[in-house]
Structure 1
Amino acid sequence: MFNRREKPNIGQRVISFLWPAMGWRRTSHYLRHRVGRLPGSPYEIAAGFACGAAVSFTPFVGLHLILGGIWAWLVRANIISSAIGTAVGNPWTFPFIWVWIYQVGQWMGVGEAGRDVTDLDFSALFGNMMEALLSGDMDFLMETAGPVFWPMLIGSVPTMAFIWVVFYFPLNAMVGGYQKARMQRRRKNAGTSAESIQTKT
């Protein structure tokens, strides 16, 4: 009776992903509870989310879920949490992420010095990468995507480390507090139930 009468189509799901119907504030509140309820210790959950968020700051578009899961597995973190963390990289944030990691790569001395980042066509870059990988033409890959991809790759390394730290420590404290409060509520409810049973008997 309470189920939706019509299931959302693909277009509606995309729109909902880009702009949640419940609003960003309520969505963030929902995600906070969703992450807090995941099984595992505060470290496992926070580290997993941080891994997913960090890999979103790499140019490996389409592989973030896999890379985040591998990283989480290596550090014994929560893989589901890492999948949620990859949502940090989305159509709203990717343009800023790509410009940033490319700029960092340039600052580290990789790529064409003085190249205006506003002239870059990232959609063409990833299109050329996909075309070259599917055809196995590595020379074409180096000629078309290489000059932009390598600065992005190098720039993503320190950025990933920074993003991991930024997400891990606040989430570790948040999840720890959430789990502690949840346990206290359960104990309180259990105590109330026990008192109620004793009163009836």
Structure 2
Amino acid sequence: MPGSPYFVAAGFACGAALSFTPFVGMHIALGCLLAWVIRASLLSAAIGTVVGNPWTFPFIWIWIYELGRWLLDETSGQVAEGLNFSEFFGTFTEAFLRFDLVYVFETAWPVFWPMVVGGIPTAVVVWVAFYFPLKPIVGAYQRRRWIRCMKQQQEARDEKTAEAGRQH
């Protein structure tokens, strides 16, 4: 992937971070938007969103919901174990697309808002957790690739020189 280590690592970190938000179905778009804002790779951002996937979403959603409840100091309300997040997001999306604002604000908002609140600090931590290890890894890979390319070019020049010497 072309670009500086910052460009690639920051893009991936954007995608990974946004997958820790409750904006299901918009992670790629939001990850790419954030990457564009900080001048990072949009492709890396799209790839980074795979951190959020059907195997990790249940854990992510429980974490951000409970963290949001804790940050909002909500002792009342439903605990995460009692929620069916897959059903919640399906119903929430349908209600939102139908402009069923009664459902959105009376039923979904008490669950969605804590997830937003818990998702923001989690996304910041995830961005840092991916960016700082990835940047030197990408840099080392690019250096090794450049050295390998230079060696191949040198070998090709040496071969041409040897051929020219044999012809004379």
TM-score, scaled to structure 1: 0.78
Match of 2:84 among 109, 113, 121: 121
In the alignment, does 2:119 pair up with 1:179? no
**Separation of aligned partners in 2, 1:131 and 1:110:** 29
User: Residue 86 of structure 1 aligns with which residue?
Assistant: 49
User: Residue 59 of structure 2 aligns with which residue?
Assistant: 96
**Bigger RCO (CA 8 Å, 6+ sep):** 2
- Give the CA deviation at 1:176: 0.3
Q: Give the 4+ runs in structure 1 shifted more than 4 A.
A: none
For residue 110 of structure 2, give the secondary structure of its aligned residue in structure 1: helix
**Separation of aligned partners in 1, 2:54 and 2:149:** 40
User: Residue 40 of structure 1 aligns with which residue?
Assistant: 3
Runs of 5+ consecutive residues of structure 1 not aligned to the other structure = 1-37
- Give the CA deviation at 1:168: 0.3
Runs of 5+ consecutive residues of structure 2 not aligned to the other structure = none
Match of 1:198 among 151, 158, 161: 161
- Give the CA deviation at 1:127: 2.1
**Separation of aligned partners in 2, 1:60 and 1:122:** 12
- Give the CA deviation at 1:111: 4.2
Cα deviation, 1:74-122, whole Å, max 9, x if unaligned, reads 0000000000000000000000000000111011025454743210111
Larger radius of gyration: 2
**Separation of aligned partners in 2, 1:189 and 1:181:** 12
**Separation of aligned partners in 1, 2:90 and 2:4:** 40
TM-score, scaled to structure 2: 0.93
Higher helix content, 1 or 2: 2
**Separation of aligned partners in 2, 1:131 and 1:190:** 58
Q: Percent identity?
A: 52
> Relative to 1, partners in 2 of residues 1:125 and 1:110: Cα closer, same or farther, differing over 3 Å?
farther
How large is the RMSD of aligned CA atoms in angstroms?
1.3
- Give the CA deviation at 1:42: 0.6
**Separation of aligned partners in 1, 2:129 and 2:6:** 14
**Separation of aligned partners in 1, 2:32 and 2:89:** 22
- Give the count of matched residue pairs: 164
- Give the CA deviation at 1:197: 1.1
> Relative to 1, partners in 2 of residues 1:65 and 1:56: Cα closer, same or farther, differing over 3 Å?
same
